[in-house]
Amino acid sequence: MSESIKVTVPDIGDFDKVPVIEVLVGVGDTVEKEQSLVTLESDKATMEVPSPVAGVIESLEVKLNDEVGEGDLLAVVKATADETEGEAPPEERAQAPAVEEATDSGQEAAPAPAPADDSGEHDFDVVVLGSGPGGYTAAFRAADLGLKTALVERYPSLGGVCLNVGCIPSKALLHTAQIIDEAAAMAEHGVQFGDPKIDLERLRGFKDSVVDRLTGGLGGMAKQRKIEVIQGVGSLTGPHAMNIESSGEGEGGQRSISFSKLIVAVGSQSVELPGIPWEDPRVMDSTGALDLEDIPQRLLVIGGGIIGLEMACVYSALGSDVTVVELLPQLMTGADPDLVRPLQKRISGRYKAIYTGTKVTSVKVADDGLVAYFEGDKAPESETYDRVLVAVGRSPNGNKFGADKAGIEVTERGFIEVDGQMRTNVPHIFAIGDVVGQPMLAHKATHEGKIAAEVCAGEKSAFDARVIPSVAYTDPEVAWVGVTETEAKEAGADYGVGKFPWAASGRALGIGRPEGFTKLIFDKATNRIIGAGIVGPHAGDLIAECALAIEMGAEAADIGLTIHPHPTLSESVALSAEVFEGTVTDLYIPKR
């Protein structure tokens, strides 16, 4: 016997009312179970409201642009069948065993998961420890798959280091630096704006507003998915148990929870060099640098990697005299030297000094600043600075959550080894993100988080991405993916290169940035792309096409024959493929 089912607005988080931006069905329409009926939108997310049953739309109670709140009636569906008859409940589906062989990618098959325990009774199907990009993605995916999920986070807002004190706030400040530099550069073209006036309080407010908008959206989506967010520091007390010490304001005490499966997403922390007076507030790590307490006249950046160089760009644009010191011979180790060269040339004319192959032996506190002592051929014996930023890498937090209580194996460096399904040596415990190894990148963690959640739910899933792109959001940006030319040479590979200089790009010339280039690396035996590197504005956006080409096994002709819009920076990817094939007409390359 069919019945009429009312469809109402679900939990919409902290919003009283949200607009209806799409009405996807009409009265009399036949709909399937889970078919979307209307789309709602807040300033943080869009949400489609599905039909809970298969049936016919009996009435529609809203129209386009209506404002609706939680519990408001949207539609009435006359059900045609009992959709749940004969279907296992979500908690039973969640316990389905993972397949022994997830893919045909050649990865070692993961062991079958162990049963939850003898009783099978736990507070949660899945607990995710840590709410960075990998952690919240894992929790959201697990909840979407019907698992009762808890997300444990020590800080008041979700998002982890990346959203709160890392990737996102740094990009907001780098955008500010870019605008300052571009405005100054326009003076050469006859447009002068004058010197910028920096209001640090408002700049911090802009940065914080970006963070608040993203983290607030995450909180709302967690609530919509009925994920229990527990604020506190989680430590394992056994293979299926965790103690959480509350870290919320006005809260105290501890809570113990149990779980069938656990996803560890505890991330990493900044490395603290010895010989540095960390107790002095003028010494900063990357988190402290993002606080923008002031704009130091003299800033020393220890570490010429991605994080150090990004923050150097910010403080230089804001008015600091920046010195960068890197222990290794090259800035941004890991990228090909030719990719780094345009960046180093640009910042060498802007920074006070760049010392490569140089060690900071110690930093001493003095009345007039912080005195740094150096060892290096071109560096002075010592120099005084108003602030020192230490950005020499990050260390995993594998030894900081009681892993030994559950029997999880952790390396001496703090990493947790996992298989292709993100499973640790303890079959019902998974690990993702920085704690499982390099590269320590948010976009790697999010993919790993989805895989771990899907395996927890009994789905056939494994990590088999061919490549993971890297991006430095410096000015110019530097991005690379797949095999670098340095790696190809060291391996003795039979490879070819297609390289297109942006000095021949109309778009690059039009924005006054001809110093960049795009480089594609091909396997000569198959003509397939195996790597790429780009330096120039928006290189981080452009590298995604190259990553997709590698993932799809594209040949040079596939890329070159794909019509790219003109004039754009993206067409340099196709033109680089043409350079390799010898068909390019935008350059004259004499035949050998």
Residue 121 has pLDDT above 60, yes or no: yes
Give pLDDT, residue 43.
Answer: 61
Give pLDDT, residue 469.
Answer: 97
Give pLDDT, residue 592.
Answer: 64
pLDDT band, residue 113 (cuts 50/70/90): very low
Query: What is the percentage of the chain residues whose pLDDT exceeds 70?
Result: 91
Give pLDDT, residue 120.
Answer: 60
- Catalytic-labelled residue, pool 122, 443, 447, 566: 566
Residue 8, phi then psi, degrees to nearest 5: -115, 170
Domains 114-270+394-464 and 283-392 share a fold: yes
Q: pLDDT per residue over 313-345, tens digit each?
A: 999 999 999 999 999 999 999 999 999 999 999
User: What is the dihedral sign for C-alpha 134, 138, 144, 148?
Assistant: negative
Fold of 283-392: FAD/NAD(P)-binding domain (3.50.50)
Domain spanning 114-270+394-464, CATH class: alpha beta
- CATH code for the domain defined by 4-79: 2.40.50.100
Give pLDDT, residue 233.
Answer: 95
pLDDT band, residue 251 (cuts 50/70/90): low
Q: pLDDT per residue over 128-166, tens digit each?
A: 999 999 999 999 999 999 999 999 999 899 999 999 999
Residue 498 has pLDDT above 50, yes or no: yes
Q: pLDDT per residue over 354-387, tens digit each?
A: 999 999 999 999 989 999 999 998 999 999 999 9
Rounded Cα distance between 130 and 133, Å, is 9
pLDDT band, residue 40 (cuts 50/70/90): confident
- Least confident stretch, 59-73, 392-406, 457-471: 59-73
Query: How confident is the model over 58-71, as a mean pLDDT?
Result: 90
Residue type at 470? Answer: S
pLDDT band, residue 252 (cuts 50/70/90): low
Residue 110 has pLDDT above 70, yes or no: no
Q: pLDDT per residue over 195-206, tens digit each?
A: 999 999 999 999
Give pLDDT, residue 91.
Answer: 40
Rounded Cα distance between 171 and 210, Å, is 10
Give pLDDT, residue 93.
Answer: 38
> Where does residue 405 rank: exposed (0-12), middle (13-18), buried (19+ CB within 10 A)?
middle
Q: pLDDT per residue over 159-185, tens digit each?
A: 999 999 999 999 999 999 999 999 999
Give pLDDT, residue 6.
Answer: 92
Give pLDDT, residue 577.
Answer: 98
Give pLDDT, residue 253.
Answer: 81
> Where does residue 319 rank: exposed (0-12), middle (13-18), buried (19+ CB within 10 A)?
middle
Distances from the Cα of 251 to the Cα of 156, 232, 553, angstroms: 12, 10, 54
How much helix, strand and coil, in percent to the nearest 5, is found in the chain?
30, 30, 45
Determine if the peptide bond prior to 281 is cis (ω within 30°).
no
pLDDT band, residue 1 (cuts 50/70/90): low
* 48, β-bridge pairs: 39
Q: pLDDT per residue over 414-435, tens digit each?
A: 999 999 999 999 999 999 999 9
- Judge contact between 549 and 558, C-beta under 8 A: yes
Q: pLDDT per residue over 262-311, tens digit each?
A: 999 999 999 999 999 999 999 999 999 999 999 999 999 999 999 999 99
Radius of gyration (C-alpha) of the chain in whole angstroms: 27
Residue 161: CB atoms within 10 Å = 22
pLDDT band, residue 248 (cuts 50/70/90): low
Q: pLDDT per residue over 83-108, tens digit each?
A: 444 444 444 433 433 333 333 333 34
The three state secondary structure string of 2-70 is: CCEEEEECCCCCCCCCEEEEEECCCCCCEECCCCEEEEEECCCCEEEEECCCCEEEEEECCCCCCEECC
Q: 396, 400, 402: which is closest to 415 by C-alpha?
A: 396
Give pLDDT, residue 33.
Answer: 87
Query: How confident is the model over 561-583, as a mean pLDDT?
Result: 97
Mean pLDDT over all residues of the chain?
90
Q: Which CATH number fits domain 470-581: 3.20.20.140, 3.40.50.300, 3.30.390.30, 3.40.50.800?
A: 3.30.390.30
Domains of the chain, residue spans: 4-79, 114-270+394-464, 283-392, 470-581
- Judge contact between 57 and 74, C-beta under 8 A: no
Residue 566 catalytic? yes
Query: What is the percentage of the chain residues whose pLDDT exceeds 90?
Result: 79
Buried residues in 1-20 as b, exposed as e (16+ CB within 10 A): eeeeeebebbebbeeeebeb
Q: Can you read off the two tokens belonging to residue 132?
A: 């960075």
Residue partners of 240: CB distance under 8 A and separation at least 6: 116, 117, 122, 258, 259, 260, 428
Determine if the peptide bond prior to 439 is cis (ω within 30°).
yes
Residue 72 has pLDDT above 70, yes or no: yes
Rounded Cα distance between 180 and 506, Å, is 24
Query: How confident is the model over 460-478, as a mean pLDDT?
Result: 96
Q: Can you read off the two tokens belonging to residue 459?
A: 């789905």
Give pLDDT, residue 81.
Answer: 59
Distance, first Cα to last Cα, the chain: 80
Give this prediction's pTM: 0.81
HSE value, Cβ hemisphere, 13 Å, CA-based, for 203: 24
Residue 316: CB atoms within 10 Å = 22
Determine if the peptide bond prior to 514 is cis (ω within 30°).
no
Q: Can you read off the two tokens belonging to residue 82?
A: 């009992």
Give pLDDT, residue 581.
Answer: 96
Rounded Cα distance between 447 and 420, Å, is 12
Q: pLDDT per residue over 256-275, tens digit each?
A: 999 999 999 999 999 999 99
User: What is the dihedral sign for C-alpha 518, 522, 528, 531?
Assistant: negative
Please spell the DSSP secondary structure of 401-437, one letter per residue.
Answer: S-GGGGT--B-TTS-B---TT-B-SSTTEEE-GGGG-
